[in-house]
């Protein structure tokens, strides 16, 4: 399994000879989703703490429970959806580049690329927990102010910025795995596999940097 | 015969100057039996009256008065002489008044009354009129040695009348808005009499104040006034509550624009501070925000302290935040002071530490990922 991280070419070449199986990739994506869910869980706490002066106490208890569950399951579901969406996008681009191979195999190999995201998710969760422990949470009366506060945190808080930068770095690691995964899943040249994985990842990275406030 | 001529002329001369009536013309007797000057003593430029009583002293003969006039150089006579007054029956009397205006030099003057009658002796009569411009005196009888801001002080003023006559309508007036009452009416003040008036003064600001009182009175119908200025220095009470801030900490809570200001408020005075409330002062680019737009401390006893917390949102160009401290004393007087807290935008120690660890994590992660990616491409 370590090969997928340090020598993905060899790993996917070997996996290609075996039967298609989504069990392990699904597990990887689920673990990644659960770690994202922990961060979302913590964010739900912050959001409701901001509204603690606005909401009545009894509603706050219910909202806290519902918010935590929704945030956790939402993050889990979104991770699964993004997995499928990424695989579909890769499949489409590689189709343009004359790639061959099934969608299931693409989905399987893309799933392995989520392993670095588990690491980044863990680091981000630790940083997020650290941030929440030390941050002063402002009280808001208007829920629309929450988005503005979040934006200020992302652009102004070093801890949140660090979390985002680490997310981008680990996304590049995942992209590296996807390059070799797509090369074998869709029978692409290394160059075409690089283009296939590079376009969506580059767009994602640019979007993340823009969110940090570095661009525009 | 020639020797008798001088004797004849001498007799004729003596008879002439003595006004001895011609045989058969007996003249009536008219007298000025009384006079009254009002006011009794005039001040410079005062207007007054001289009233004289003319009486026919004859028992059976009437007198026809042709003219009565008043003459004086130092005192100006404003009214005209009386002409052709008419007959004055036997034993009858008549009051005649003259209006006068006092000159500018104090002293006793003797204006002359000249009375001319048809069948009576002419009369010249001098009336003494006193001009004394000595004003009423006003002075401080009692006031606190120290004036304290916000504390009521009683100021007692004494008004004395060193004049030889009674004055009326005596009152003390002040325009100071912190003085109660604004006017004290004392009425009539006899000669050598004094009266005391009390005022309550509550200064609202520290520093040098000048209290101005105006003493108003009437001498007859003539209004006069005297001013009294009292310079005094208003200080803070030595015993009053003295609120000071210590242990101020400023934490950035939302990016760099919202700050939580915490600290202690101490009462270093000798009296209690009641209803202590702390607020964020007004200023451009400064806005108090929830949850602590204001902080109610309540009663703060001497040598006691309380923690406080305020939340403020400031613009980037703001470097100081005013904190408004309001409290009341035992009498309910409201006091307020403003303290300025500097907003320092440099990184805190914890942030610096965070930067070091951030760089370490970033460098390690970046090196790891670059190494892994390079290794994977080398191994392909």
pLDDT in tens, chain B (380 residues): 444 444 444 444 433 333 343 333 456 688 899 999 999 999 999 999 999 999 988 888 888 889 999 998 878 999 999 998 888 889 899 999 999 999 888 999 999 999 998 877 888 999 999 999 999 999 999 988 888 887 888 999 999 999 999 999 999 999 888 889 999 999 999 999 999 999 999 888 888 888 999 999 999 999 999 999 999 888 877 777 888 888 888 877 544 467 888 889 998 888 888 889 998 888 888 888 877 888 998 888 888 898 988 888 887 777 888 889 999 887 777 888 888 888 765 444 445 455 677 788 888 888 988 998 888 888 77
Confidence at residue B18, expressed as pLDDT on a 0 to 100 scale? 39
- ipTM (interface pTM): 0.84
Q: Is B359 part of a structural domain of the chain?
A: no
User: What confidence score (pLDDT) does residue B346 get?
Assistant: 46
A169 contacts on B by Cβ (under 8 Å): 362, 365-366, 369
Residues B226, B145, single domain; the answer is yes
- Report the candidate in B164, B163, B168 with the shortest Cα–Cα distance to residue B223: B168
A98 touching chain B per CB within 8 A: no
Domain membership of residue B13 (yes or no) is: no
Q: Are residues B113 and B142 in the same domain?
A: no
Co-location of B184 and B263 in the same domain: no
- CB distance B362–A155 less than 8 Å? no
- Structural domain tally of chain B? 3
How many Å lie between the alpha carbon of A52 and the closest alpha carbon of chain B? 10
Q: Do B369 and A152 touch (CB under 8 A)?
A: no
Whether residue B208 is contained in a domain is answered as yes
Higher pLDDT, B180 or A215: B180
Of B157, B136, B154, B137, which is closest to residue B145 (Cα–Cα)? B154
| B22 within some domain | no
B379 min Cα distance to partner chain A (Å): 6
Residues B264 and B219 occupy one common structural domain: no
Note whether B115 and B89 are same-domain residues.
yes
Final residue before a domain boundary, out of B109, B131, B153: B131
Residue B227 lies in a domain: yes
DSSP B340: E
**Inter-chain contact A138–B362, Cβ cutoff 8 Å?**
no
Angle between helices A103-112 and A158-185 (to 10 degrees): 140
Characterize B289-327 residue by residue with b for buried, 16 or more Cβ atoms within 10 angstroms of its Cβ, and e for exposed: beebeebebeebeeeebbebebbbbbeeebeebebebbb
B152 and B168 share a domain? Answer: yes
Residues B123 and B156 in one domain: no
Q: Does B375 reside within a domain?
A: no
> Does one domain contain both B147 and B190?
yes
Find which of A125, A135, A154, A173 to mutate to test the B interface (most B CBs within 10 Å of its CB). Answer: A173
Residue B363 lies in a domain: no
- Asked whether the beta carbons of residue B379 and residue A135 sit closer than 8 angstroms, the reply is no
Nearest CA in chain A to B350: A134
A155 near B CB under 8 A: yes
Q: How far apart are CA A5 and CA B87, in angstroms?
A: 147
Please answer yes or no on whether A180 and B376 come within 8 Å at the CB atom: yes
The structural domains of chain A, with segments of one domain joined by +, span: 3-211
Q: Closest residue of A to B371, CA-based?
A: A6
pLDDT classification of A148: cutoffs 50, 70, 90: confident
Beta strands across the sheet bearing B41-42: B41-42, B129-131, B107-109
Residue finishing a domain among B102, B131, B160: B131
Residue B248 shares a structural domain with residue B317: yes
Hey, is the C-beta of A9 within 8 angstroms of any chain B C-beta?
Answer: yes
Q: Is B378 within the bounds of a domain?
A: no
Give the bridge partners for B227, in sequence order.
B214
What does the alpha-carbon distance between residue A94 and residue B338 come to, in Å, rounded to a whole number? Answer: 69
B169 with B193, same domain: the answer is: yes
Find out whether A124 and A41 touch, Cβ atoms under 8 Å. Answer: no
Residue A205 C-alpha, separation from nearest chain B C-alpha, in angstroms: 15
Same-domain status, B299 and B337: yes
The domain containing residue B36 runs over which residues? 27-131
CA–CA dist A127, A124 (Å, integer): 5
Residue at a domain's end among B178, B206, B235: B235
Residue range A40-54: mean pLDDT, rounded: 76
Q: Is B375 within 8 Å of A157 when comparing Cβ atoms?
A: no
The answer to whether residues B198 and B292 belong to one domain is no
CATH, residue B127: 2.60.40.10
In angstroms, the CA B53 to CA B257 distance is: 95
Probe site for chain A from B314, B315, B362, B369 (most A CB atoms < 10 A): B369
């Amino acid at each position: 399994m370590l090969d997928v991280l340090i020598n993905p070419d060899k790993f996917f070449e070997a996996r290609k000879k075996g039967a298609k199986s989504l069990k392990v990739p699904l597990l990887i994506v689920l673990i990644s989703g659960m770690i994202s869910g922990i961060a979302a869980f913590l964010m739900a706490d912050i959001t409701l703490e901001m509204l603690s002066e606005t909401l009545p106490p009894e509603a706050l208890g219910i909202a806290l429970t519902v918010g935590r569950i929704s945030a956790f399951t939402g993050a889990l579901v979104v991770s699964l959806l993004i997995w499928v969406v990424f695989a579909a996008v890769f499949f489409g681009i590689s189709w343009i580049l004359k790639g061959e191979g099934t969608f299931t195999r693409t989905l399987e190999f893309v799933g392995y690329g989520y392993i670095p995201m588990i690491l980044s998710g863990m680091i981000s969760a630790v940083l997020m927990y650290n941030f929440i422990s030390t941050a002063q949470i402002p009280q808001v009366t208007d829920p629309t102010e929450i988005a503005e506060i979040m934006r200020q945190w992302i652009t102004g808080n070093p801890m949140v910025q660090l979390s985002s930068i680490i997310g981008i770095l680990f996304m590049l690691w995942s992209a590296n795995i996807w390059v070799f995964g797509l090369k074998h899943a869709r029978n692409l040249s290394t160059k075409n596999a690089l283009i296939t994985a590079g376009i969506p990842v580059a767009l994602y990275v640019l979007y993340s940097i823009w969110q940090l406030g570095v661009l525009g | 015969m020639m020797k008798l001529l001088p004797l004849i002329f001498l007799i004729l001369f003596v008879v002439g100057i003595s006004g001895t009536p011609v045989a058969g013309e007996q003249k009536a007797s008219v007298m000025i039996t009384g006079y009254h000057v009002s006011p009794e003593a005039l001040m410079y430029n005062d207007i007054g009256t001289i009233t004289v009583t003319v009486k026919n002293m004859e028992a059976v003969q009437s007198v026809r008065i042709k003219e009565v006039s008043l003459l004086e150089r130092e005192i100006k006579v404003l009214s005209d002489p009386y002409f052709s007054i008419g007959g004055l029956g036997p034993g009858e009397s008549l009051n005649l008044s003259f209006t006068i205006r006092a000159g500018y030099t104090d002293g006793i003057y003797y204006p002359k009354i000249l009375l001319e009658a048809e069948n009576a002796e002419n009369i010249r009569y001098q009336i003494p009129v006193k001009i004394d411009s000595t004003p009423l005196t006003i002075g401080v009888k009692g006031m606190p040695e120290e004036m304290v801001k916000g504390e009521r002080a009683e100021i007692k003023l004494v008004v004395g009348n060193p004049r030889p006559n009674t004055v009326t309508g005596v009152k003390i007036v002040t325009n100071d808005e912190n003085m109660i009452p604004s006017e004290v009416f004392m009425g009539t003040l006899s000669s050598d009499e004094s009266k005391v008036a009390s005022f309550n003064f509550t200064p609202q600001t520290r520093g040098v104040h000048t209290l101005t009182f105006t003493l108003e009175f009437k001498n007859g119908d003539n209004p006069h006034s005297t001013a009294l200025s009292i310079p005094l220095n208003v200080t803070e009470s030595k015993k009053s509550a003295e609120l000071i801030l210590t242990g101020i900490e400023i934490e950035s809570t939302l990016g760099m624009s919202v700050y939580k200001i915490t600290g202690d408020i101490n009462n270093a005075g000798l009296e209690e501070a009641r209803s202590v409330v702390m607020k964020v002062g007004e200023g451009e680019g400064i806005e108090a925000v929830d949850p602590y737009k204001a902080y109610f401390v309540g009663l703060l006893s001497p040598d006691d302290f309380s923690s406080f917390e305020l939340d403020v949102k400031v613009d980037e160009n703001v470097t100081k935040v005013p904190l408004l401290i309001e409290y009341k004393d035992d009498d309910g007087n409201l006091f307020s002071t403003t303290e300025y807290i500097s907003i320092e935008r440099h990184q805190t120690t914890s942030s610096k530490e965070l930067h070091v660890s951030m760089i370490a994590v970033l460098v390690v992660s970046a090196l790891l990922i670059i190494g892994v990616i390079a290794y994977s491409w080398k191994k392909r």
